[in-house]
Amino acid sequence: MIESQGSAVTVRGKNRLRNGRYREIWPAVFLLPAIFMLGVVFVFPLISVVKFSFYAGRVGDLAPVGFANYYNLLHDSVFLIAIKNNLKLLITAPVSVALALTISLILYEGVKGWRTYRIIVFIPYIIPGTVVGLSFSYLLQQSGILNTVLNRLHLSKLALDWLGNGALSIYSVGGLLIWSQLGFSVIALTAALLSLPQEVNEAAIVDGASKWQKQRYVIIPQLKNTIQFLFVLQIINALAWVFPYVFTLTRGGPGNSSMVMDLFIWQYGFSLGSVGYASAAAVYLLGLSGIFIYLYSRIRRNQEEL
């Protein structure tokens, strides 16, 4: 791949005199709008947020405080809860991918009604997180629909206080996250399954491999890329896209038990106007996601070298 690009460069170099500067410039011109947008939306804010993190007070009335925000955050029990909760939400990644894998493998076998199931499973993905949170905040209330149903089915033991119990509330958020993202994973995995070469399948059948063996040793390894991609996507979701769910479902409560980073940053940055403190929290969050960027790029590099 790299060689072919090398040749492209030389071809372009030769063309330069004959065709004027047009050919030379287009790659840069094509890239420019993206560079501009990424510069304004990503690079500038990233620099700016680091700068803000060393100040106290409000925009227009900032006072430098050195590393005090960073230090205070580490002693802020709510911030620590928020980090822990985001890490807890990472559990949704394996759970949701495993669930999606199971579903898509069953659908792939062509069980009765697979077409209908596929359509239905995708529905939650198009429901806005805000609406999901709103409706579940009533469904999951201690005296809400879910518990009413559980009680009627004589499963009172399962009728927990999903939102009101501080030990449980963040897992309810996680459940919502899985619920609303599952459809996308199923479709992505189905797509990958359908693009598998048919011969592999047939060869396995000729070899007399059992269904389970076929799945375990033939199909799943070939889905590796997709699984990895979904895994990363889910991790990003769990780290940084939970705001609408938490905001509508629990507002971080009860008693901060379901606080997460994006809600924390929003609260300080906007509701309270402590821009510096919020920015320092944002820098910590960036560090945390930096770890995942690093890990992912390592995995990708290893793969490409193979």
Partner 1 sequence: MLSRFSTSRKVGKLSFLIAIVSITGLAFSNTQTFASSAFKSAADPYSGKLVYWFWAESDVPGSTAWMQAAIKRYEALHKNISIELVPQGSDTLQGAFETTAQSKSGPDIAMQWATLPVLTPVWRGQVASLKGLVKPSEMANWLNTSENVSGGEVWAMPLYLLGEPFVWNKTLFKKAGLDPNKGPTTWAEFLAFSAKLKAAGITPIQMGLKDGAFGAWFQATVGTQNLDSVQELKDVYTGKAKFTDPKYSSYLTQLDTLSKKGYFNKDIASIDINQAWQNFAQGKGAMTWTTDGNVAAWVKAGLEKQIGVQMTPKLGTGKLANFHTATQSISAFITSWSKNKQAAATFLSWLHQPENLASWYEATGAFPADKRFSAANIKNPLMKKLFALNSQPGQLWAENYAPPQVDSNGLRPFGAAVVTGTSTPAKAAADIQNSIKQWQTQQPADFKSYKLWASGK
Partner 2 sequence: MKRLRELGLLQQGFLVVISISSIYPVWFILQTAMKTNQEYMLRPLNLPQGLRLENIKEVFNSFPVLHWAFNSLLVCIFSVGFCTVIALFASYSIVFGGWKSTRAMLNSNIALMVIPPVTLVIPMFSLMVDLHLMNTLPSVIFFYTGLFLPFSIFLLSNFMKSVPRELIEAAKIDGLSAISTLWRIVVPLSSAAIFTLILVNAIYAWNELLIAMVFLQQQNSRTLMSGLVLFQGRFSTNIPLVMAGALISIIPPLLMYIFGQRFFIKGMLSGIGK
Residues that bind partner 1 (CB under 8 A): 56-59, 61, 63, 65, 68-69, 72, 75-78, 137, 140-144, 161-167, 250-257, 267-268, 270-274, 276-277
**Min CB(78)–partner 1 separation in Å:** 7
Q: Name the phi and psi angles at 223, rounded to 5.
A: -90, 5
Contact partner, 206, from partner 1, partner 2, none, Cβ < 5-8 Å per class: none
Contact partner, 231, from partner 1, partner 2, none, Cβ < 5-8 Å per class: none
Which residues, numbered 178-197, are part of the site for partner 2 (CB under 8 A)? 179, 182-184, 187-188, 190-192, 194-195
Residue 63 in the binding site for partner 2 (CB under 8 A): no
Residue 296 in the binding site for partner 2 (CB under 8 A): yes
**Min CB(162)–partner 1 separation in Å:** 8
Which residues, numbered 205-244, are part of the site for partner 2 (CB under 8 A)? 226, 232, 236, 239-241, 243-244
Residue 64 in the binding site for partner 2 (CB under 8 A): no
Which tokens in the block code for residue 22? 């047009």
- Nearest residue to 50 (alpha-carbon basis) of 282, 270, 239, 288: 282
Residue 257 neighbours by CB under 8 Å, 6+ apart:
81, 166, 167, 169, 170, 250
Strand-pair category, 61-64 with 55-58: antiparallel
Rounded Cα gap, residues 248 and 164, in angstroms: 14
Contact partner, 244, from partner 1, partner 2, none, Cβ < 5-8 Å per class: partner 2
Q: Of the ranges 1-9, 64-72, 163-171, 199-207, which one interacts with partner 2 (CB under 8 A)?
A: 1-9
Residue 110 three-state SS: coil
Beta-bridge mates of residue 55: 64
Task: State the residue for tokens 């821009």.
Answer: 275
Please tell me what DSSP assigns to residue 260: -
